[in-house]
Chain A
Amino acid sequence: MADVVVEQGQAVRAARARKPTSLRNVLGRKSTVAFFLTLPLILLIALLVLYPAVYSVHLATLNKSMQKFVGFGNFLFLFKRDTFWMVVKQSCIFAVTAVFFKALIGFIVAHFVHNIPAKGQRKWRGMLLVPWVIPPAMSTLAWLWLFDPSYSAFNYTLSFFGIGPINWLGDNVWARFSVILVNIWYGAPFFMIMYLAALKSVPDQLYEAAAIDGANWWQKIWYVTLPMMRNIIAITALFSLIVTFANFDIVRILTSGGPLDQTHIFATWAFKVGIEGSDIPLGASVSLFMVPILAVAAIFILRDVSKRGNEA
């Protein structure tokens, strides 16, 4: 902040004294140099993020054969389709349930790992991160085999207890359960590692003070750990919500949206409509519908984070 004030003052003085050298002053500013240094990255983001985003907005305003501008016509069409609203509902159930359980499991496991003696902790951290580092398409294929109703290890194991066979991917309820389960399995390690980092930054003195005040373990978590981790929890949840909402590979590989469209989420249905159905504008509209939902979530979560930041 101080830099800016000083430089603004200099700029004003320079403008008064020697007008022709103002360009030199502009180029000499730290902010200008910083801008030029970040320019390659800005251009890269514009090319790889901004251009596709703007282009998808453009596509969403065209008719099916992409020859006519229809404005919001595609969205109005979607609003009248029952399947679309089913996809909206399912995407919300999928994302919210998966993020909630990922956060819960990540929180619990992070505590376990935090309490392991430092010597053996690295091994556990590494092992618990494995689901997150395997490419999801690969690990989901393994899950597909595990869920196979005819030959799977799950049903084989359950048969020893007189249970099943469970139609994991062929029954509406079980299919939803299965896709959410795989997403939790894949994403929980990310929460675990973030929460573990947050836990390590909580000063021990706070726990010692709480112990002197007679706090039990639950009160320590509620009054010390959680308030100290709130921002990390919020940011991680937001990040995961965005990624989970936009998930494609898990559902595509496990169920392709079936049975009876009961596991379709935005990305898989957009692919079905846009690529398989050759209706790219409608597919673009479906995927763009995620934006307002995620924007609302982002505004609430980030507002809360910045409020707490200001309070601090």
Chain B
Amino acid sequence: MSRKTLTRRQFVAATAMSSAALITAPYVRGAYAAGKISIGFWDHWVPNANDASTAMVKAWGEKEKVEVSIDYITSNNNKIQLTVAAEAQAKSGHDILQMPTWWPHAYSENLEPLNDVMEPLIKQNGDVNGTVKYLGQSGGKWLAVPATPGSQIKGPCTRIDLMKKLAGIDVQEMYPVGGPPKADNWTLDTFLKAAEACQKGGFPFGIGLGETTDSVDTAGAIFQSFGAELVNAKGEVTVKTDAVRQALEYYKKLIAFLPPDAPSWDDASNNKWLISGRGAMILNPPSAWAVAKRDAPQVAEQCWTHGFPAGPKGRFAPYLPYFWGLWSFSKNKEAAKSLLTYLSQPSSIEKFVAASGGYDLPAYANMTTLKTWQEEGPPKGTLYHYPNPYNHQTLSIAASPAPPKIAQQIYFQATLTKMALRHAQGEKMEATLAWAEGECEGFMRS
């Protein structure tokens, strides 16, 4: 049996070569040297809007040598919420998942803090509004990054012709293209008179009183315009206040001028109301207008998206941001953070807004005057005031400023619209308040 001996020289040479290979190995970059990540985007309803997201993510992946897989998850029937719940429970799934409004707080224990991403972004893109901070932050910790796709304001989308003819209001003059709003007289009282005039003229405002988000968002903005809070920021029940009573009295008057079937409306009903030409106004992002462009162009060219009417305590517009959350169980957090930063760059935001035809809204102060909103039409400039370019209204979400986990219950149980409907259907004010107080006490569970 022969035995090969290793000389001292051979041993030193082999050791040196192995060490060199080990040290240099991490710097040899293959096609996907920086690993893999997966991202779950909200499935956009605008045709081809997803293509823009795919192209951006692919470009980033190639540049950073990261293999990225993308899924588009619909929000129809709460599929995206179900995915968030399932992944949080399984502690497995996408690295980054797009989640609507309340979900970063609901699953805050499972989310990676993103202060190191958000702080530079705010410095670069401008500050974010109060609702984004309320929904995206907890105890100074950023739970998620505000996403441009899907974020929206549900302000009035008004028929120019009907409003002028029936209520004597020129919405284009009130919200002119290229200039600040001249909307001092655009108050809840004016809104009520216009609702009455349009109802008498056969074109009622299309405002739902159901349990889905559009109905709740409108109620939220009207309640906030009166300073009405069911639960305050400290988590105390504050139902039995004059502000809440005033809001309910106002709603009672308004409901008399709404379509009789409004209690059964869902989020598609107001869109149908506008597109069918039966109503003078709805409170919705410009999705109804965009569909009308295709299905009822004569309606679309008479639509104008603008600001909310002001109440005694200010002008509030319903705002629903989406977020991108990074799971704490993600296996490639650094790459995910890099992707989130990339998707929040001004150039990326501009692409998202353009691909969605102006529907998507960035959360950052410096990003509300993009070209898309100035140019979209017909009529040209119909979306100019949609992103709130002059900050003349406070972007808010229903049930705030209650602690988010309580507010989420108020929001999804549609307590505000139920209160308005109960009172309008003849229930005594104090009975409605007592019912709402009981409901809110039940929402305090932790």
Contacts and interface: CB of A to CB of B under 8 A. Distances in A.
A278 B265 CA distance: 23
A97 interface: no
Contacts of A165: 260
Majority DSSP secondary structure for residues of A touching B:
loop
B103 A278 contact: yes
Interface residues of B, number: 41
Contact of A279 (B81, B263, B276, B409): B409
A260 B412 contact: no
A181 to B, nearest CB: 15
B264 A170 contact: yes
A155 to B, nearest CB: 10
A77 to B, nearest CB: 7
Contacts of A63: 445-446
Given A149-B261, A170-B260, A65 B78 contact: no
Nearest to B77: A252
B446 A258 contact: no
A282 B445 contact: yes
A257 B418 CA distance: 12
Contacts of A167: 260-261, 263-264
B266 A256 contact: yes
| Max chain A Cβ within 10 angstroms of own Cβ: one of B103, B261, B412, B438 | B261
Interface string A241-266: 00000000000100111111100000
Nearest to A70: B445
Given A257-B211, A258-B264, A276 B259 contact: no
A275 B85 CA distance: 7
| Max chain A Cβ within 10 angstroms of own Cβ: one of B77, B278, B445 | B445
Contacts of B82: 275
Interface in A46-87: 63-65, 67, 77, 80-83
B150 interface: no
A121 interface: no
Contacts of A271: 78
Contacts of A277: 408-409, 412-413
Interface string B378-411: 0000000000000000000000000001001100
B412 A256 contact: no
A272 interface: yes
28 contacts: A64-B446, A65-B109, A67-B109, A83-B439, A150-B259, A150-B276, A150-B278, A168-B264, A169-B264, A170-B264, A175-B264, A252-B77, A258-B210, A258-B263, A258-B264, A258-B414, A259-B263, A259-B421, A260-B263, A260-B422, A271-B78, A272-B412, A272-B413, A276-B78, A277-B408, A277-B412, A277-B413, A282-B445
